[in-house]
Amino acid sequence: MSGQWGKKIKYSIFGESHGRGIGITIDGLPAGTKLDMDFINNEMQRRAPGKNEFSTTRREGDKVEILSGYFNGYTTGTPLCAVIFNENQNSVDYDKLKDLARPGHADFTGKVKYSGFNDYRGGGHFSGRITAPLVFAGAVARQILFHKGIQIGSHVLSIENVFDNYFDAVNLKNQFLIDILNKDFPVIDDVKGKEMKSIILKAKEESDSVGGIIEAAILNVPCGLGEPFFDSIESNLAQLLFSVPAVKGVEFGSGFDITKLRGSKANDLPYMNKGSVATKTNNNGGINGGISNGMPIVFRVAMKPTPSIAKIQSTIDMDTFENSEVSITGRHDPCIVLRALPVIEACAAMSILDFI
């Protein structure tokens, strides 16, 4: 099991979805970093379940308790350890499923990998619930980045086949990201947001689920960050992003669409802008050669539909190795995209902070 990530700052996650609690230890933070607990708690609430009709009915306060590395409002320089105790598990839902491989889940692969000793309840360590500690870590990282002028934000770019407007990757400003952050349904075009809501609720009524795309941006990153080849901005951040359950695709800048352009159009032409180097376009997403170039770092993440659905699906019995059927009852999100926004932003903050 690989539960650690980071070089200059090391993060170690622990816990299972239906265990006593989940948490993270952060080693390498400088002493004297002031932590705004109100900001941290607000980030935790953005990800927390049970807030609205688009989310699971499982209600977890996601209250963070810091066990070490924090005193009188500041980090002490020792490992910062935080735990979130699970308060609303309903493990009985999984007793009848323990031998059935839920489609789209890691039940079968996890059982093979760990010889059947893995905690299968709610997905155990494979659960999306384990992203809550990442949000805490990201909230800590973001506060350090704030003091360096670095702003991170995201929006729901699409749900199923309904798309919001794309970020203006050249002229994106801090306040624009803040304004979207303050929305209950974070999209640029609220009319499109209303269509997305309808799609989610329709899938919920039909005992199904939908996926979507998150577009995120990191502003005011200084030029020169990144360690090519194997620790470039893209490879470092992508490793974190692909560790998030449900993420199936990551692209930077124009991503796959850049293949539709000629080189003369794809190239971001540099020019002097009030004494600083900027580019006229941002097809490369603020990165050249794996190194930040000073333009906004823009990337998108594809989130698959929530695999836990009540529709009857075919599967196998992992005990008898016979064909079977399964219907997953319990409390699940009809769409995970909304609650994943702060998780994706957290990954961005953790990655950039490690370079700085």
Q: What is the pLDDT of residues 290-303, one digit of tens each?
A: 999 999 999 999 99
Question: Residue ranges for the binding site for NADP(+)?
Answer: 47
What residues form DSSP beta bridges with 162?
Answer: 159
CB 111, CB 118: distance < 8 Å: yes
pLDDT beneath 70: ranges in the chain = 1, 50, 55-60, 88-95
> Which tokens go with 17?
């979805």
Distances, alpha carbon 32 to alpha carbons 6, 73, 351, in Å: 21, 9, 21
pLDDT of residue 352: 98
Query: Which distant-in-sequence residues (6+ apart) come within 8 Å of 195 by Cβ?
Result: 162
> Which tokens go with 237?
């951040």
Rounded to the nearest angstrom, the gap between the alpha carbon of residue 318 and the centroid of all alpha carbons in its chain is: 30
Query: Which distant-in-sequence residues (6+ apart) come within 8 Å of 22 by Cβ?
Result: 13, 14, 15, 16, 83, 84, 86, 129, 130, 132, 133
DSSP-derived secondary structure letter, 9: S
Question: Residue ranges for the binding site?
Answer: 47, 125-127, 289, 304-308, 331
Q: CATH number, domain at 337?
A: 3.60.150.10
Distances, alpha carbon 73 to alpha carbons 35, 36, 44, 66, 68, in Å: 6, 8, 18, 11, 12
Position 160: which residue type?
E
pLDDT of residue 99: 87
pLDDT of residue 334: 93
pTM score = 0.93
Question: What angle is formed at CA 195 by the lines to CA 191 and CA 201, rounded to 5 degrees?
Answer: 140
Distance CA 251, CA 4 (A): 24
Secondary structure (DSSP) of 221-288:
PPTT--BTTTB-HHHHHHHHHTTSTTEEEEEETTGGGGGGS-HHHHS--EEEETTEEEES--TTTTEE
Q: How many domains, the chain?
A: 1
Query: Which distant-in-sequence residues (6+ apart) come within 8 Å of 139 by Cβ?
Result: 39, 40, 43, 44, 346, 349
Question: Residue ranges for the binding site for FMN?
Answer: 125-127, 289, 304-308, 331
Nearest to 234 by CA among 352, 139, 119, 318: 352
Rounded to the nearest angstrom, the gap between the alpha carbon of residue 182 and the centroid of all alpha carbons in its chain is: 18
Q: Is the peptide bond before 355 cis (omega within 30 degrees of 0)?
A: no
> Which tokens go with 147?
């003091």
| 1 SS3 class | coil
Domain that holds residue 136: 4-355
Q: Rg of the chain's alpha carbons, rounded to an integer? A: 21
pLDDT of residue 125: 78
Distance CA 333, CA 108 (A): 22
Secondary structure (DSSP) of 31-61:
TT-B--HHHHHHHHHHH-SSSSTTS-S----
pLDDT of residue 227: 95
pLDDT of residue 95: 67
Question: What angle is formed at CA 279 by the lines to CA 284 and CA 247, rounded to 5 degrees?
Answer: 25
pLDDT of residue 94: 63
